[in-house]
Chain A
Amino acid sequence: MISKLNRMRLMAITANHIFLRSIFAASLFILIFISGITYRNTVSLTDSMEWVVQSYKFQTEVEQLFSLLKDAENSQRGFLIAGDSAFLEKYFESHKSVVKSFAKLDSLQTGNPQQQKNLKFLNQLIDLRLQQYDLSLKYGSDLFLNQEELTANMRKGSEITNLIDKQIDKIIDLESSNLKERQEKYEFKSFFVPWFTLFIMLFSLFVFVLAYVKINSDLEEQKRSNKKLLISTESMKHAEAIGEFFITQWDLKTNRYIFSDNLYRLLGCEPQSFKATAENFLKFVHPDDIHIVSNGTESTRQSSMVFPRTYRIIRKDGGVRYLKSMGKIITDSKGNLTHVSVAKDITQFQLSNMALEKRNQELLQSISELESFNHVASHDLQEPLRKIQTFISRISEKDQLIMDENSKEYFARIQASVSRMRTLIDDLLLYSRTTKTDKEFERTDLNLLLENTLQELSQQIEEKNAVIHTENLPALRVIPFQIQQLFYNLISNSLKYSKPGLAPIIKIECRKIETHENPELFSDSGKEYYKISVSDNGLGFEQEYANKVFELFNRLHIKGDYPGTGIGLSICKKIAENHSGVITAKSKPNEGAAFSVFLPD
């Protein structure tokens, strides 16, 4: 679950990185784009302006040219009329200026084909006109003034001038329209470029703000995760110290280790006091356990299956500690494998476990001793008693006739003591047998067990004229012979302690109860029990002895009156406990006794 969450977070961070990178790439692209556009716009704006200026210059130059032509004409006319050579000089100057001016004009023209054509034509006209001037001048300055030819020539020149005039008008018109066009272009550009630039600026500002916000939120997020990381690192350190464990990280690619501080502390060293390497760690591992650790290291490389390992280390101060470690391979987003292992100091656990095992062993030993004691009791203690009895029986048979009354009485007493001793041993054996651990539970009809018991006791029942009332009993998971023993002991007790001269009435009743009805007996509530009670109308006893009757060898009557060993009810208690049940007694002197056995359903 946690690793899934981490993976999702990792993916989110990766997505974030991609987003930021694309924003920066876009910003860079936009910046270059803006620079290019702005440069081009500025250049084209300047160009447009230059074009406008050139158009103006062109127009001025055209007008200049025309006026120069006029000047030339005036000078020529002045010369022709006044014959003053000063005019002639002026004419030549104007002539030169016209040629210069045209050259300038030609250089100013912008490559408009129409205008080029126009200029070419103008050039021809000008050439023609200048030839005409020269010709007129020649005719005019000739000593043999040819008035007629001069006049014709002048007329022709005037026509050409008119043509030139028209042509210039045409050129100026065209240039004016050019100018107008350029001006419009310039105006458009000078209007459009700032807006475009502004728009681009605003857009890039937006992009930058977006990037800033994103980076800021990322930083915040990073701060938060840093804080979380710091807290979890600190809590991990704390947990390590309290939980007595440490963590090692092993980068399988670079073979580099990282040991947590607590590793050093558990080894009895200062944190990070030696370099984190496998060799340095192995120096602390118990020589007998090195194979466990280093084998584990090798197998880790080969498979991702990692088993828990238990090994010993020897601390710097020489103390031996038990460690249990468990590793796991973690794969990061780039596919690098890191083996993370957690090792816990289990010394306390291990030692108490070992102590427990030892105690268990001792217990088993004492149980087997007890069993051999039982064997000794059943064989070796019984044997001499049996022989005493047999010898007595021999003596009494053979020599009864010659024995005096005292001796007979003594032999009878010896006989009684020996038989009591044998009963005691038998009962004790029975008691120890009920304590035995191997119990076989099987679902048994208790009615059947009760029936068997009554069968066994039939002779005594008959002798005492006892009346037995029984109720239907359930079938339960019990140890059959023990429950039969329980019935036997309880009923024979009732028969034994009956009131002299009164026929015993013994009732065996059964009722289903829940634990909360008898909270003083049961600690667990909500379970169902069967309460089986055996009650009589016999001698009874003081209620204050109710618990004492279940104690071993405890008897409430004088030996001579009622023979018994004081083991019977102890056996009953043991049997009830073997069945996770309880036995209780309720009585009043001379009002009978009631024993209740609670057995779980």
Chain B
Amino acid sequence: MKNGPIYVLLADDDEDDRLFFKDVFDELKINTVVNMVNDGEELMKYLSRNDHTLPHMLFLDLNMPFKTGLECLTEIKKMDHLKEMAIAIYSTSASEKEIEETFVNGANIYIKKPSDFGTLKKILADVITINWQYQTSGLNRDNFLLSI
């Protein structure tokens, strides 16, 4: 991460959310490459290709057609070449059940989509700059849900 851009991938079926996401990274002064997929199927296809750099960080929406975020999460965690990739759940809702399930299945952090652009910007900046390689060892349930 010292050299070169941070590769970020967003999997979200909502066009508006993708727009906000893109706007945030356009405004942030961080060297990032943002790619986007529209649903779970597309995500899995994208991750299985080997003709491009794999993302360092995946932002995963839970409510998606064809393949839900949770299904994608469990599949990704079974793939050896994706083990290094940090996964942030990026969802509208944050029910106890969803938080529990995604935590158990190995997501790194749970972001509830905020309703303010400024807040969103701050969250994404914070999340992207965490050194995940270092952070994963200290993972625990209490700081799993990101609260800003």
A-B contact count (CB 8 A): 36
Q: Is the CB of A397 within 8 A of B115?
A: no
Q: Give the distance to chain B from A296, nearest Cβ to Cβ, in Å.
A: 50
Separation of A383 and B93 alpha carbons in the complex (Å): 9
0/1 interface trace, chain B 102-134, chain A, CB 8 Å (1 if under):
000000000001111110100000000000000
Q: A378-B93, A379-B92 are contacts. A386–B115 as well, Cβ < 8 Å? A: yes
Q: Is the CB of B92 within 8 A of A386?
A: yes
Q: A379-B63, A390-B20 are contacts. A397–B118 as well, Cβ < 8 Å? A: yes
User: For A387, what are the chain B residues with a Cβ–Cβ distance below 8 Å?
Assistant: 16-17
User: For A391, what are the chain B residues with a Cβ–Cβ distance below 8 Å?
Assistant: 16
Q: Is the CB of A379 within 8 A of B115?
A: no
Interface centre among B14, B93, B115 (most CB of A within 10 A): B115
User: For B113, what are the chain A residues with a Cβ–Cβ distance below 8 Å?
Assistant: 386
Q: A379-B63, A383-B14 are contacts. A389–B115 as well, Cβ < 8 Å? A: yes
A248 beta carbon closer than 8 Å to chain B: no
A interface, over-half SS: helix
B147 beta carbon closer than 8 Å to chain A: no
Q: Is the CB of B117 within 8 A of A393?
A: yes
Separation of A141 and B63 alpha carbons in the complex (Å): 184
A315 beta carbon closer than 8 Å to chain B: no
A385 beta carbon closer than 8 Å to chain B: yes
Q: Is the CB of B92 within 8 A of A394?
A: no
Count, chain A residues at interface, CB 8 A: 15
Q: Is the CB of A389 within 8 A of B14?
A: no
Q: A389-B115, A390-B120 are contacts. A383–B92 as well, Cβ < 8 Å? A: yes
User: For A394, what are the chain B residues with a Cβ–Cβ distance below 8 Å?
Assistant: 23, 117
User: For B53, what are the chain A residues with a Cβ–Cβ distance below 8 Å?
Assistant: none
B95 beta carbon closer than 8 Å to chain A: yes
Separation of A385 and B120 alpha carbons in the complex (Å): 15
Output the nearest chain A residue to B16 by Cβ-Cβ distance.
A387
A382 beta carbon closer than 8 Å to chain B: yes
Q: Is the CB of B92 within 8 A of A389?
A: no
CB-contacts of B2-28 with A (<8 A): 14, 16-17, 20, 23
Output the nearest chain A residue to B14 by Cβ-Cβ distance.
A383
A422 beta carbon closer than 8 Å to chain B: yes
User: For A385, what are the chain B residues with a Cβ–Cβ distance below 8 Å?
Assistant: 115
Q: Give the distance to chain B from A434, nearest Cβ to Cβ, in Å.
A: 14
Q: A379-B63, A383-B14, A390-B120 are contacts. A422–B93 as well, Cβ < 8 Å? A: no
Separation of A363 and B11 alpha carbons in the complex (Å): 38
Separation of A415 and B17 alpha carbons in the complex (Å): 19
- 4 nearest A-B residue pairs (beta carbon): A389-B115, A393-B117, A386-B115, A393-B116
Sample 17 A-B pairs with CB under 8 A, ordered by A number. A378-B93, A379-B63, A382-B92, A383-B92, A385-B115, A387-B16, A389-B115, A390-B16, A390-B20, A390-B114, A390-B115, A390-B117, A390-B120, A393-B117, A394-B23, A397-B118, A422-B115
